[in-house]
């Protein structure tokens, strides 16, 4: 599973700078979730072929009171969620009482951590780092986050303990059971839906143990099909242990999406599409996951509001129009059974083996109907296509000058392939290879 790195340290040591370096200033994946403060940012990053999640925290000042106290809590929560912690200090400021106290905190946590001496640009590195030896932390890196110096090497080192997994896509067993993740913001009705999805049928469940950071995996059968429900809301755990509400966790949600074939994104009809829904949706699309949208609490929506909500949603969801949208009431069970039809269709589409001859024939027809536009007097020539992978389906198209095919034409091909192959509920990726 994708490793998680937390950045902690006093304010101003350079955490945000490093965060931005690592995520290449792509916006934080998810910001400002209710129940989390603005001080915790999550981003996805990649070094080589190793993806990881990085969490930026507000910072810990040492004497935690008031706002500082809240910041410290956030940092502690981030440490809890992380696999490994980068404890950042400022080479220019030198050792500080707050650093000492944070080091003590970290030792008590039983979580692997490394000391990162930042801002070593333009100063004597040996002198700067020697100041921090007294912390007694043997694993130490010195970097200049703002210049990117030492960053790549450090991350490669830190991640060496987490070797990338074999691509699951090549594992036959991975397709035996349809892996469905139920995700969404706090309070949209995930737990209620999970209970419904399971309660509908005679479910043979065996829970796989996990920490509070992990989702619960629930295997069951429905109409002779095998499913694995990835429950981010922790319903089963709650039933068995204690009835406390599961804490919403971004890391858990991201991991669940990564690990699923099909994601059910649950939204609240009363609130419409909020920014946080869009973040999660963006992540599902980027990951190429099968997708089903469940607009929940439909029972509470006045009939004269319904058309308006539907119109508004389809307007804002044009970029995810491949996904089926269901208007459901998890509370009453209305519409829940229909979700399975979309789940199955998305899974079948996402994992179908595509035939080279068919792909090439569809390409020829598409080009015959509508040629790619000329660029500088030359027209890209698209010759043949073959399947490049599944989940999501990848179609590789060979030809000349394919680098000049405009994005609009690529979308045209996507649309044709989707229609001709009857692919629903999954993104379709197209990749061009050029032979000139």
Angle, vertex CA 334, rays to CA 329 and CA 335, nearest 5:
100
Total residues in contact with ligand GDP, by rule CB under 6 A = 31
Task: Give Cα separations from 358 to 361, 387, 400 (angstroms).
Answer: 5, 10, 21
Residues whose CB is less than 8 angstroms from the CB of residue 128 and which lie 6 or more positions away in sequence, other chains included = 91, 92, 94, 117, 120, 142
Q: How far is the CB of 25 from ligand GDP (least distance, A)?
A: 12
Q: Does 323 bind ligand GDP (CB under 6 A)?
A: no
Q: Does 192 bind ligand GDP (CB under 6 A)?
A: yes
Considering only 144, 197, 291, 292, the residue that binds ligand GDP (CB under 6 A) is 144
- Report the 10 Å Cβ neighbour count for 149: 15
H-only helix segments in 200-335: 235-240, 250-259, 275-287, 303-316
Peptide bond into 296 cis (omega under 30): no
Q: Does 43 bind ligand GDP (CB under 6 A)?
A: no
Q: How far is the CB of 55 from ligand GDP (least distance, A)?
A: 12
Per the structure block, which two tokens stand in for 285?
Answer: 């699309």
Angstrom distance (rounded) from CA 113 to CA 232: 27
Considering only 3, 43, 150, 184, the residue that binds ligand GDP (CB under 6 A) is 184
SS3 state at 6: strand
Q: Does 330 bind ligand GDP (CB under 6 A)?
A: yes
SS3 state at 263: strand
Q: How far is the CB of 192 from ligand GDP (least distance, A)?
A: 4
Q: Does 187 bind ligand GDP (CB under 6 A)?
A: yes
Q: Does 300 bind ligand GDP (CB under 6 A)?
A: yes
Considering only 190, 222, 252, 398, the residue that binds ligand GDP (CB under 6 A) is 190
Considering only 4, 5, 8, 15, the residue that binds ligand GDP (CB under 6 A) is 15
User: Backbone phi, then psi, for 395, in 5-degree steps?
Assistant: -115, 120
Q: How far is the CB of 9 from ligand GDP (least distance, A)?
A: 6
Q: Does 360 bind ligand GDP (CB under 6 A)?
A: no
Sign of torsion over alpha carbons 222, 224, 230, 235? positive
Q: Which stretch binds ligand GDP (CB under 6 A): 100-108, 153-161, 186-194, 257-265?
A: 186-194
Residue 42, Cα to own-chain centre: how many angstroms? 10
Considering only 5, 6, 14, 231, the residue that binds ligand GDP (CB under 6 A) is 14
CB 7 within 8 A of CB 54: yes
Q: How far is the CB of 190 from ligand GDP (least distance, A)?
A: 3
Of the candidates 99, 115, 432, 429, the one whose C-alpha atom is nearest the C-alpha of residue 289 is 429
Answer yes or no: is 231 a known binding residue.
yes
Answer yes or no: is 96 a known binding residue.
no
Q: Does 301 bind ligand GDP (CB under 6 A)?
A: no
Residues whose CB is less than 8 angstroms from the CB of residue 345 and which lie 6 or more positions away in sequence, other chains included = 324, 424, 425
Q: Does 400 bind ligand GDP (CB under 6 A)?
A: no
Tell me, residue by residue from 58 to 87, as one string, x for binding to ligand GDP by CB under 6 A and - for no binding.
Answer: -x----------------------------
Considering only 154, 233, 260, 397, the residue that binds ligand GDP (CB under 6 A) is 233
> Which residues form the interface with ligand GDP (CB under 6 A)?
9, 11-17, 59, 118-119, 121, 144-146, 184, 186-192, 233, 296-297, 299-300, 329-331
Annotated binding site for GTP: 9-16, 56-60, 118-121, 184-191, 231-235, 296-299
């Amino acid at each position: 599973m994708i490793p998680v790195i937390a950045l902690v340290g006093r304010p101003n040591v350079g955490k945000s700078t490093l965060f931005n370096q690592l995520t290449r200033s792509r916006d934080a994946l998810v910001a400002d979730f209710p129940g989390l403060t603005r001080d915790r940012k999550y981003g996805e990053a990649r070094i080589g072929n190793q993806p990881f999640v990085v969490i930026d925290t507000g910072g810990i000042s040492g004497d935690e009171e008031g706002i500082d106290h809240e910041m410290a809590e956030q940092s502690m929560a981030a440490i809890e969620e992380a696999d490994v912690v980068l404890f950042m200090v400022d080479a220019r400021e030198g050792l500080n009482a707050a650093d000492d106290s944070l080091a003590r905190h970290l030792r008590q946590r039983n979580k692997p951590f490394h000391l990162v001496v930042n801002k070593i640009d333009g100063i004597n590195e040996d002198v700067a780092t020697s100041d921090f030896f007294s912390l007694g932390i043997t694993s130490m890196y010195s970097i200049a986050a703002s210049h990117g110096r030492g960053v790549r090497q450090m991350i490669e080192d830190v991640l060496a303990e987490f070797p990338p997994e074999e691509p699951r896509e090549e594992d036959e067993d991975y397709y035996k059971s349809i892996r469905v993740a139920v995700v969404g913001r706090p309070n949209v009705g995930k737990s209620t839906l999970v209970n419904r999805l399971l309660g509908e049928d005679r479910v043979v469940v065996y829970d796989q143990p996990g920490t509070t950071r992990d989702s619960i995996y629930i295997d069951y059968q429905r109409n002779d099909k095998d499913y694995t429900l990835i429950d981010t809301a922790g319903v089963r755990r709650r039933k068995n242990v204690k009835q406390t509400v599961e804490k919403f966790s971004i890391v858990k949600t991201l991991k669940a999406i990564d690990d699923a074939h099909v994601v059910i994104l649950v939204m609240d009809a009363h609130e419409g599409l909020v920014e946080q829904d869009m973040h999660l949706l963006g992540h599902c699309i980027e990951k190429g996951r099968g997708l089903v949208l469940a607009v929940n609490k439909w029972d509470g929506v006045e009939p004269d509001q319904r058309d308006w909500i539907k119109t508004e949603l389809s307007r804002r969801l044009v970029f995810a129009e491949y996904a089926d949208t269901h208007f459901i009431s998890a509370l009453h069970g209305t519409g829940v059974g229909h979700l399975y039809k979309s789940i199955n269709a998305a899974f079948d589409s996402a994992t179908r083996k595509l035939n080279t001859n068919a792909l090439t024939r569809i390409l020829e027809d598409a080009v015959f109907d509508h040629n790619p536009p000329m660029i500088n007097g030359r027209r890209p020539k698209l010759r043949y296509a073959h399947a490049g992978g599944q989940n999501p389906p990848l179609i590789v198209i060979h030809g000349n000058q394919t680098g000049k095919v405009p994005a609009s034409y690529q979308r045209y091909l996507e649309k044709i392939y989707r229609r001709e192959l009857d692919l629903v509920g999954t993104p379709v990726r197209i990749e061009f290879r050029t032979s000139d």
